[in-house]
A and B are shown apart, each in its own frame.
Chain A
Amino acid sequence: MTAQATPTAKTPARPPTRQRRFGLGSIGTTGLVYLALLAIVVIGAILVAAQGKNLFSTGNIVDMLTRSSLLGFIAIGQTLVILSRSLDLSVGYVMATCSLIAAVVMNGSEANVPLGIGAALGAAAVVGLVNGLVITKLKVNAFIATLGTGLIIKGWLDTEFAGPAGKVATSFQQFGYTRIAMIPLSTVVMLALAVAGILYLRKTRAGHHVYAVGGDVDVARLSGIRTDRTIITAHILCAIAAGVAGLLIAARFGTGSALVYDYGLDLESIAAVVLGGTYLMGGRGGIAGTVAGVMILAVLDTVFNILEVNPFYKDVLRGAIIVVAVAIYARRQLSAKPSRVRFAGGVS
């Protein structure tokens, strides 16, 4: 579609809306993220090879994938809420809670595994429901609402669980340690969840409506979409995804741990989502990009670990990459309003 009046080469200095195309403008944002991931893997492999090591050794690949699965679960859920123009800062606490519930309910018994998983994910869904209701019905800003529920859970966790609690069944620990060839089971589950999420967004009405609500809530409402319900559902699914991350924690540790909320995964997941090309203000992006965003962060971590670089530079680089990525997306984003050029430019 290039039938629109094309400005001549010399576009006016500051028209209200201008279409700007970079060399990479023709590929989508998701494609760009995967290109960036590829570039980082290649550069990382070269740097690692320069030290006489191999980035693609089994150990390193397992390390990268293991790192990515925990953040992956949370970031997949976070993508759903961000797409609907919301935010969830309570995911870290939900994760901790679910690890504890699963471990305590299982209490080492194989028979209780399904019950433990169900209880943990059910509790997560309740938290998501509360988040969604507070945001849509009490009209509390999502930032404050989820910060608040997160704090409420934190208080409960800190009071009730001073240390690790419960014990997961032995079989359940397989979730944390089993590998299929080189790929950890948790990564497989994470990718499966990602595929499920992508299907949800692309193949269900509810998923389509997530984009509509995040893109323009008035248009969504005029089209007869129940916007509140869409937002609440997104929050429930996000919390459940965080619950799965909690299950993974429990499987790896063999027990539930309250302290995992300190991992900073709430903010990191938001960073991974926007790094993956999802627009923080909703309506654009997707889970495929998020997975790449998560992988970028994991590869960086692994490479820096192998190179034994001071973690400071890793943090600086991470911060810089996220900020630069979002700045690039902001520039790529065309104006949402239809614009037209009545008179081609040309400064007299």
Chain B
Amino acid sequence: MSASRKLADAGRFLISGSGAVYLLLIAIFAVIAVNNASFFEPFTLMGFVKKAAPLLILAIGQYFVIVAGEFDLSVGSLVGAQVVLAALLIDGEGPRTWPVIALMLAGGALVGLVNGLITTLLKVPSIITTLGMMLVLFGAIRLLTGGAPTGALSPEFRIFGRHGIEGVPLFRQLPWALFIVIVVAVAAVYLMRSPFGRTLVAVGDNAKAAGFAGTRVWWVRTAAFVLSGLSATVAGILVGGYAGVTSQVGEGMEFVAITAVVLGGVVLGGGRGSVLAAIAGALAVESLFTLFTQLSIPSTIRPTAQGLIIIAAVAYASRERSRRHTPQLSMKPADPNRHSDVAVP
């Protein structure tokens, strides 16, 4: 393949529905660079990574669920509940850090398992299941905090969100958050390339066909919720470290995460989009917020931009899709006679 052809392919990919997020990301970074080149100084960039890390991880978790054709609205409240619970249990005592982290991971997996089983076995739409879970978790936060969080996170706990390897030339500090994001992202990419990942996408694309191919659809979807619960836990560890404990931690993060994933071209309803694009979507959202700060746009106007962008992105992607799909002349999607009549004898 010649270089020019490759370039043309790359161009086509970028304007296609699935490549648009990279284009957007590049554009935002370009504006940031023009505006304030110091953003790309290693130290500042690492600060950005620390700030963006929780959303990136949350978006990865949400990706698993969305690509399997479901929603997880409980992640924001899960992040909050995890942080509040960690503060309560650790209460500033360093040695308790690791056992509590283990407990948090188990709790996150359990929340995901419950979400998944209710959705798949009881056939409750996931938007309702996870909404119910969100109510329960917010209630738990209120119960645990009684308004103001009690206890404190240990310094050991906060390392992950705040600190890093100090004294690295050029960077001064390589944050642990960076490593965690990289590990989680690589694991997610690897997982999506594994048999499980392909099965997950196939379930989101066509659950019936996946079932005919021997997939346990209920289990695959449940696993996606478990992964989402686990990533919310990791995001909680990072947020707690970065921002500390308040009873508002995590509020609204589920919608930002869904925005990020959808911005990445991942289609609600499942079966389309890559985890890398979801990560890029999360990066785009965070860098957009950074850009707003730089432009001294009041932070209050951010939601407006977020809303406009998400609608525009999805409208663009759905227009691209319908343009590339020649509509079939059919009365109903499942017309059993449709094929027989167009058969070549």
Instruction: Assess whether A313 is interfacial by the CB under 8 Å rule.
Output: yes
8 Å CB interface, B300-332 against A: 300-308, 310-311, 314-315, 318-319, 322, 331-332
The CB with the most chain B CB atoms within 10 A, among A148, A153, A327, is that of A148
8 Å CB interface, B246-304 against A: 255, 258-259, 262, 268-269, 298, 300-304
8 Å CB interface, A311-332 against B: 311-316, 318-320, 322-323, 326-327, 330-331
Would you call A141 and B269 a contact (CB within 8 A)? yes
Would you call B302 and A155 a contact (CB within 8 A)? yes
8 Å CB interface, A142-159 against B: 143-145, 147-156, 158-159
Report the minimum CB–CB distance from A137 to chain B (whole Å). Answer: 9
Interface size band for B: 35 or more
Would you call B315 and A315 a contact (CB within 8 A)? no
Selected interface stretch from B94-102, B126-134, B152-160, B222-230: B126-134
- Complexed CA–CA distance, A311 and B135 (Å): 11
Report the minimum CB–CB distance from A135 to chain B (whole Å). Answer: 10
Instruction: Assess whether B142 is interfacial by the CB under 8 Å rule.
Output: yes
Q: A148-B311, A151-B306, A322-B131 are known contacts. Are A315 and B138 too (CB-CB below 8 A)?
A: yes
Instruction: Assess whether A39 is interfacial by the CB under 8 Å rule.
Output: no
Q: Encode contact with B along A260-278: 1 for CB under 8 Å, 0 otherwise.
A: 0000000100110010000
Would you call B255 and A147 a contact (CB within 8 A)? yes
Report the minimum CB–CB distance from B105 to chain A (whole Å). Answer: 22
Would you call B268 and A141 a contact (CB within 8 A)? yes
Q: Encode contact with A along B70-94: 1 for CB under 8 Å, 0 otherwise.
A: 0101000000000000000000000
In the complex, residue of chain A having the shortest beta-carbon distance to the beta carbon of B133: A319
Q: A323-B118, A330-B124 are known contacts. Are A312 and B303 too (CB-CB below 8 A)?
A: no
Would you call A322 and B315 a contact (CB within 8 A)? no
Q: A315-B138, A316-B139, A322-B131 are known contacts. Are A330 and B307 too (CB-CB below 8 A)?
A: no
In the complex, residue of chain A having the shortest beta-carbon distance to the beta carbon of B259: A147
Instruction: Assess whether B211 is interfacial by the CB under 8 Å rule.
Output: no
Q: A312-B143, A313-B139 are known contacts. Are A138 and B73 too (CB-CB below 8 A)?
A: no
Report the minimum CB–CB distance from A332 to chain B (whole Å). Answer: 11
Interface residues of A, dominant DSSP = helix
Instruction: Assess whether B140 is interfacial by the CB under 8 Å rule.
Output: yes
Would you call A267 and B73 a contact (CB within 8 A)? yes
Would you call A218 and B262 a contact (CB within 8 A)? no
Instruction: Assess whether A281 is interfacial by the CB under 8 Å rule.
Output: yes
- Complexed CA–CA distance, A145 and B307 (Å): 8
Instruction: Assess whether A140 is interfacial by the CB under 8 Å rule.
Output: yes
Q: Encode contact with B along A328-345: 1 for CB under 8 Å, 0 otherwise.
A: 001100000000000000
In the complex, residue of chain A having the shortest beta-carbon distance to the beta carbon of B114: A323
Report the minimum CB–CB distance from A312 to chain B (whole Å). Answer: 3
Instruction: Assess whether B172 is interfacial by the CB under 8 Å rule.
Output: no
- Complexed CA–CA distance, A148 and B125 (Å): 22
In the complex, residue of chain B having the shortest beta-carbon distance to the beta carbon of A139: B318
In the complex, residue of chain B having the shortest beta-carbon distance to the beta carbon of A154: B303
Measured between beta carbons, the chain B residues less than 8 angstroms from A152 are 303-304, 307-308
Instruction: Assess whether B185 is interfacial by the CB under 8 Å rule.
Output: no
Would you call A315 and B124 a contact (CB within 8 A)? no
Report the minimum CB–CB distance from A278 to chain B (whole Å). Answer: 12
The CB with the most chain A CB atoms within 10 A, among B128, B133, B262, B322, is that of B128
Report the minimum CB–CB distance from A244 to chain B (whole Å). Answer: 24
Measured between beta carbons, the chain A residues less than 8 angstroms from B124 are 323, 326-327, 330
- Complexed CA–CA distance, A313 and B138 (Å): 11
Report the minimum CB–CB distance from A91 to chain B (whole Å). Answer: 15
- Complexed CA–CA distance, A220 and B257 (Å): 35
Report the minimum CB–CB distance from B298 to chain A (whole Å). Answer: 6
- Complexed CA–CA distance, A149 and B132 (Å): 24
Interchain Cβ contacts under 8 Å between A and B, 28 examples: A134-B311, A138-B319, A140-B314, A141-B268, A143-B71, A144-B310, A144-B314, A145-B314, A147-B255, A147-B259, A147-B307, A148-B307, A148-B310, A151-B303, A154-B304, A155-B303, A159-B301, A270-B131, A271-B131, A280-B125, A280-B127, A281-B125, A311-B139, A311-B143, A312-B140, A316-B139, A319-B135, A326-B128
Residues of A within 8 A of B (CB): 134, 138-141, 143-145, 147-156, 158-159, 218, 222, 267, 270-271, 274, 280-281, 310-316, 318-320, 322-323, 326-327, 330-331
Closest 7 CB pairs of A and B: A315-B139, A155-B304, A151-B307, A312-B143, A158-B300, A319-B132, A152-B307
